[in-house]
Amino acid sequence: MFEMAAHVYYVNKHVKQYLESNELEQTWNFLLEIQQGSRYMQEYSGELDYEISPHISKIISCYNEFLQNGYSSKRYSFLSEYSHPGPFAFGQHYEGDYAFNCILFVPPPQDASKAPLAAAISSTCTVFLFINSLLFLAEEKEVSQQLIGFSEDLVKSYRG
């Protein structure tokens, strides 16, 4: 969700810039690159018809503008530890049994305080915020109101 929040911010920022400059063709080309771009298809399959979509590092750097002080890069690095193979990802699935000098594999904790749930909810609400901004540009009100309701419900359920 954090990557998606960064991605939606990136798209939102650039679409607004192009539309404000009345660069409709550039807006269209940007959206094609974002929507249909595939680094894999371009680099590994030799399908030159595909644009190369922006690398996630570029998108995360752009998201730093919104979160400020390099927070986006730091948070992305932290959350990546939970999804890429490493001690934080694996640490949720084992515990040491020091009485028998062994490692036991266990289900991940169900306690929300032990998971990066707050960061996931924050990212989800940010995705909704920037999608809502694009809906506003398109004068779409029905879906916009539903996104606001989802965000409010998500935050309420986490607090509750």
What φ, ψ does residue 103 adopt, rounded to 5°? -110, 135
Joined tokens for residue 132: 């809502």
101, 94, 77: which is closest to 2 by C-alpha? Answer: 77
Containing structural domain, residue 117: 2-159
- What is the CA 135 to chain-centroid distance, rounded? 18
Rounded CA-CA distance 24/113 in Å is: 46
- The pTM assigned to this predicted structure is 0.60
Average pLDDT, the chain: 79
Res 14: pLDDT? 92
Q: How many C-beta atoms lie closer than 10 Å to residue 76's C-beta?
A: 20
Res 22: pLDDT? 92
Of all residues in the chain, what percent carry a pLDDT higher than 70? 79
Own/partner contacts of 150-156, CB < 8 Å, gap of 24 or more, are 151/124, 151/125, 154/121, 154/124, 154/125, 155/121, 155/125
Question: Tokens 């690398």 sit at which residue?
Answer: 55
Confidence of residue 126 (pLDDT cuts 50, 70, 90): confident
Across 111-115, average pLDDT: 61
Which segment of 111-120, 122-131, 140-149 scores lowest on mean pLDDT?
111-120
- Give the range with max mean pLDDT: 28-32, 36-40, 122-126: 28-32
Contact 117, 108 (CB under 8 A): no
Residue 90 or residue 17, greater confidence: 17
Residue 88 or residue 34, greater confidence: 34
Q: How many domains does the chain have?
A: 1
Output the CA–CA distances (angstroms, integers) from residue 3 to 20, 107, 122, in the order listed: 26, 26, 12
Confidence of residue 103 (pLDDT cuts 50, 70, 90): confident
Residue 90 or residue 159, greater confidence: 159
Give strand pairing partners of 104. 95
Residue 146 or residue 78, greater confidence: 146
